[in-house]
Chains A and B, each alone.
Chain A
Amino acid sequence: MGIVNPQSVADTSDETATLLEVRDLTLRFGGVTALSEVSFDVDRGELFAVIGPNGAGKTSIFNCLSAVYRPENGTIHLDGTSLIGIKPSRTAELGIGRTFQNLGLFVHLNVVDNLLLGRHHLMRTGFVAGMVWKGKAKREELEHRAAVEEIIDLLELTPYRKSHAGLLPYGVQKRIELGRALAMEPKLLLLDEPVAGMNLEETEDMARYILEIRRRLGLSMILVEHDMHLVMDIADRVMALDFGQRLALGTPDEVQNDERVIEAYLGGST
């Protein structure tokens, strides 16, 4: 299957550099404005980070990208295809993989099955073919199992293969989620607080995996994270949000030294 190969980076030469284009995204819940005219682009192979205090609208952006929320205004295009108004289950086919802030694992299934579920949209067996098993269903299971095993190797999940996801330690569960998102073979990976609640060692492990994925797969990623050290260390560009507004967008250095960002985080005197 060879999904852990950096082929996708080389193939993009004839396409535009921009993978995701978000323009004037506005999202309201009743009187609360969660996002207000937020615009940004994510380039191919870029690690784009979104930061901001609690309630700034970071996860709301992810929910718009996964079509869970429908924004009032604005456009989202992934590789030229609009993501507005489609079913959430379609975003997987279009190339969006996602991990969740509060773990969205299937706790009664083992690690292999969790990862195989990431490949659901790449598989074709229906109810009837599944019941027959012989032929299509079995062949597909074996093929995709091989692909899943590559990810298990990459993320060092080998010892946990057959364990129920719900019984594993938190740090491992976060890694399984990352694996499941990778198994989807996305064009764009959305990581919602991948190191939240982790100790230093686990955080460093996760950073290593993220960088390794980037190196091997050349994936574009959007990272939402509170751990500023991590964000500033690994992101190419950073967007800072506050109360649904874009405060700054630029390289980690630029954003770190932006007055408005410092104000939002530390509390200014104006």
Chain B
Amino acid sequence: MAALPLRSVPAGGRPSRQLVLDYRDDLRIFPDRWARFGLVVLAFLYIWLPTQEVSDAGLRTLSTIAIVAIGAIGLNLLTGYTGQVSLGHAFFVGVGSYSAAYLGAAQEWPFLLYMPAAILLGVFLGAVIGPFALRLRGHYLVIVTLGLVFLGMHVFRNWTSVTGGNRGTQIRGADMSIGPLDFSGLELFGSTFTREQSMFFLVWALLALAALLAKNLVRSRMGRAMQAVRDRDLSAEIIGVDLARTKVGAFAISSGFAACAGVLSGLQIRFASPDDFDLFLSIEYVAIVIIGGAGTIFGAILGAFFVIGVEEFISHYSRSEWLGPVVRTGPGDSGFFSVGELNAVLFGGFIVVFLLFEPRGLAALWLRAKAWFLTWPFSY
């Protein structure tokens, strides 16, 4: 029953560009020629962008986008797919960053050891905290996970032997090599790459891996169970989905993604301080998930582009003629927002606007555009 003997297509050509001949075809992530072409374009950009025109500053921004997207994919698994809104994501990102600082920089573990260790620590903490938090729903869950952020900041401030306390801690000299590839300064095919270029290669490859893992999860048994819990938890339970196990598992995996993003962002900034992992970071992640599109993997990446793009835009133009009067860049400067405050206000605004007008986010805009072209000329 599984494989119909129709794999070969008659010589006259394909009957339809979307014909599905096998259940296998339904399971493909890149189902048709266009999607596979897109993949090739992305692969080309991956090689071409860092080696060509883009400046180191530009590459840093692109790397930040990839790092944040990894974390956002994690939150999307929890919020978009399982329907559990959490404001505690910043805590797990912080756990990742401090793992990089302590295990990677201070203890000088190799990358291939401290990265998995940080992810496992995130998963472990998620699995331990999850059962308490996920007994609650809706607003109560939001409040409890909010508490997690403050708890985390308290620990980061006071466990000075590991975290360096209020002043933060340097993340210098941490190993960043995978086998023969050292991503703190890649040397490949006789050419030497800058740290920014190498970092770009590392984080975008990891983002691709993270996206693939997440996509695999949501198209298999437990990912489907997560979505069932989101849509109707009572009937999910009655058809045999263990609610606690599904929710806690989603929370743990989401935390693992956050920790991975935390390690990478620590390596990127080479510094971790308690204030980096405050409520604003959590809200930023929630904004990315909502703006990008809850319940889609590539929405998280679109959202990261959008949010980090806006942030960069504001900090870049904060001294310009038209943003200058609004944004306060120095102590004596006029203007009523700091850069961070303006970001916070804007993201709040974006969350509201998207929830009102496009609750399914940028991903939905993309899907709609795609549907329009696929059904052209009968686009109604």
Contact = CB atoms under 8 A, between A and B. Distances in A.
B253 A127 contact: yes
B235 A105 contact: yes
B207 to A, nearest CB: 15
Contacts of B238: 66, 68, 88-89, 91-92, 98, 104
B367 interface: no
Contacts of B237: 68, 87-89
B63 interface: no
Nearest to B3: A142
Interface in B169-226: 213-214, 216-217, 219-225
Contacts of B235: 100, 104-106
A141 to B, nearest CB: 6
B2 interface: yes
Contacts of A118: 239
A121 B240 contact: yes
Contact of B222 (A125, A138, A141): A125
Contacts of A108: 227, 230-231, 295
B234 interface: yes
Contact of A1 (B1, B224, B249): B1
Interface string A84-97: 00011111110001
A117 interface: yes
Q: Which of A112, A131, A143, A146 is the most central at the interface, judged by chain B CB atoms within 10 Å of its CB?
A: A131
B214 to A, nearest CB: 8
B27 interface: yes
Interface in B15-70: 23-24, 26-27
Contacts of B223: 130
A116 interface: yes
A120 B216 contact: no
Given A88-B238, A89-B241, A105 B220 contact: no
B45 to A, nearest CB: 25
A149 B23 CA distance: 10
A133 interface: yes
Contacts of A266: none
B220 A109 contact: no
A238 to B, nearest CB: 25
A137 B221 contact: yes
Nearest to A62: B238
A10 interface: no
B115 to A, nearest CB: 16
Contact of B26 (A90, A98, A120, A145): A145
B220 A137 contact: yes
Contacts of A130: 216-217, 220-223
Nearest to A165: B231
A66 to B, nearest CB: 5
Q: Which of B217, B227, B242 is the most central at the interface, judged by chain A CB atoms within 10 Å of its CB?
A: B217
A107 interface: yes
A109 B221 contact: no
Contact of B221 (A88, A125, A150, A184): A125
Given A120-B224, A123-B221, A130-B221, A68 B242 contact: no
Interface string A180-204: 1100100000000000000000000
B103 interface: no
Contacts of B224: 109, 113, 116-117, 120
Contact of A106 (B24, B27, B227): B227
B220 A146 contact: no
Given A108-B230, A120-B241, A127-B249, A140 B213 contact: no
Given A104-B234, A120-B225, A127-B253, A180 B239 contact: yes
B170 to A, nearest CB: 33
Q: Which of B228, B230, B240, B241 is the most central at the interface, judged by chain A CB atoms within 10 Å of its CB?
A: B240
A30 interface: no
B222 A109 contact: no
B250 to A, nearest CB: 8
Contacts of A100: 235
A31 interface: no
A68 B234 CA distance: 9
B236 interface: yes
Interface string B243-265: 10000010001000000000000
B232 interface: yes
23 contacts: A66-B238, A68-B238, A88-B237, A89-B238, A97-B239, A104-B232, A105-B232, A106-B235, A109-B227, A113-B224, A117-B225, A120-B221, A121-B240, A125-B222, A126-B222, A131-B253, A133-B216, A137-B216, A137-B220, A140-B220, A142-B24, A149-B23, A184-B239
Given A105-B231, A113-B224, 8 more contacts: A118-B239, A120-B221, A120-B241, A121-B240, A127-B222, A130-B221, A131-B220, A133-B219
Interface of B: 1-2, 23-24, 26-27, 213-214, 216-217, 219-225, 227-228, 230-232, 234-243, 249, 253, 295
